[in-house]
Amino acid sequence: MKPFTYNALPARVVFGSGTIAEVATEIRRLGCSRALMLSTRGQKLQIEKLASRLGELCAGVFSEAAMHTPIEISEKAVRKLQKTNADCVVALGGGSTTGLGKAIALRTGVPQIVIPTTYAGSEVTPILGETEAGVKRTLRSPDVLPETVIYDVDLTMSLTAPLTVTSGINAMAHAVEALYAKDGNPLTSLLAEQGITAMSKALPQICQDPANKAARTHALYAAWACGTCLGTVGMALHHKLCHTLGGTFNLPHSETHTVVLPYAIAFNCRAAPEAMHTIARALGVEDPARGMYELAKSLGAVTSLRELGMAESAIEEATDLAMANPYWNPEPLTRDSIQLLLRQAYAGESPRSFR
């Protein structure tokens, strides 16, 4: 066994059905009394309903969270926090709302309670990606790690099938890269395999029957497992590419992860054979890259960057950005190989060797 270092993250997780009823208790548990409630515009009614239930514990509502966490939105939310004298934030939603909560915490130090309604996983990570002037930058700091996460399976029951699929595959991307991370460890690897297995089994069941609560429960558990992997080890090429494509070209987050993941797996196939064996075993396939591609395709997910609205002419710029300050990756990066990966992902063809 290789030497390793493992750092546990100090997060509290409340998991179950109907657990949203615990929000008031968790606010008080943090020693707080005035929560700024956060959401996107699309989930404004949900957050206002929760705010009404909290009564005096709610200091105000901010429903302008946006994809890729634009810095101007974060600064506007901080002003709202200060104006309302809020002493914590409650973020209800997916990665956009969680990101906003983290951005506020980074600037003010207030504690966070996150209530995920997708399978994003960022709620259990000390990672924040913010976009400024078309460039998405990522930082890792314990200052942005939410203090409490409330997982309520009931809140995911209305998640549409397309978003369920792409959000779930986005979660699996965290676990995939954890398996070949530079700072990987046995515990994280076990959790990663379990997360991939649980999610890959749950997604087809949910697509067949969106009201399957047992499958929804397994998917939410898998999201927690995969997100925990993302929080404890470093990520590699896949996440660098998705941050680049999302931040610069404003491509949708989970859909971009879904498109890119099979090609990132294929890219690293030769350099990380043990990880590839684990991914294949978790998916129940022989070829991990093709298996992930076929899973997404069979569930009706978008499988090309072209379908997401990216222009073919943008491949050159995306390549340059990906090669600038690249993340560590098991397979060495070259400009030609990154460009080939992006061209395959643009076309949406079945992943093949990059040699």
Nearest-angstrom CA–CA distance, 182 and 3: 12
Same domain, yes or no, for 166 and 150?
no
How large is the C-alpha radius of gyration of the chain?
Answer: 19
Cα 141 to Cα 9, 105, 290, distances in angstroms: 11, 11, 35
Of the candidates 314, 305, 312, 313, which has an alpha carbon nearest to the alpha carbon of residue 134? 314
Same domain, yes or no, for 150 and 116?
yes
Residue 195 within any structural domain of the chain? yes
8 A C-beta contact, residue 277 and residue 319? no
Same domain, yes or no, for 46 and 120?
yes
Of the candidates 56, 342, 142, which has an alpha carbon nearest to the alpha carbon of residue 333? 342
Same domain, yes or no, for 187 and 295?
yes
Residues of the chain with pLDDT under 50: none
Residue 355 within any structural domain of the chain? no
Query: What is the pTM for the complete model shown?
Result: 0.93
Residue 4 within any structural domain of the chain? no
Residue 353 within any structural domain of the chain? no
Residue 248 within any structural domain of the chain? yes
- Cα 248 from chain centroid (whole Å): 18
Same domain, yes or no, for 31 and 150?
yes
Same domain, yes or no, for 104 and 134?
yes
Residue 7 within any structural domain of the chain? no
Residue 352 within any structural domain of the chain? no
pLDDT score recorded for residue 354: 65
pLDDT score recorded for residue 5: 86
Q: Which of 156, 184, 219 corresponds to the end of one domain?
A: 156
Of the candidates 254, 290, 125, 281, which has an alpha carbon nearest to the alpha carbon of residue 196? 281
Residue 230 within any structural domain of the chain? yes
Across the beta sheet with 35-38, what order do the strands follow? 12-16, 148-152, 112-116, 88-93, 35-38, 58-62
Q: Which of 136, 156, 176 corresponds to the end of one domain?
A: 156
Nearest-angstrom CA–CA distance, 333 and 267: 9
Place of tokens 């300050």: 325
Same domain, yes or no, for 203 and 340?
yes
Same domain, yes or no, for 224 and 304?
yes
Instruction: Supply the CATH number for residue 68's domain.
Output: 3.40.50.1970
- For 189-202, how does the pLDDT look when each residue is reduced to its tens digit (9 = 90+)? 999 999 999 999 99
Same domain, yes or no, for 188 and 319?
yes
Same domain, yes or no, for 168 and 281?
yes
pLDDT score recorded for residue 46: 97
Same domain, yes or no, for 174 and 146?
no
- For 138-182, how does the pLDDT look when each residue is reduced to its tens digit (9 = 90+)? 899 999 999 999 999 999 999 999 999 999 999 999 999 999 999
pLDDT score recorded for residue 258: 98
Q: Which of 156, 189, 220 corresponds to the end of one domain?
A: 156
Question: Domains in the chain: how many in total?
Answer: 2
Same domain, yes or no, for 261 and 338?
yes
Instruction: Supply the CATH number for residue 212's domain.
Output: 1.20.1090.10
> What is the domain extent for residue 38?
12-156
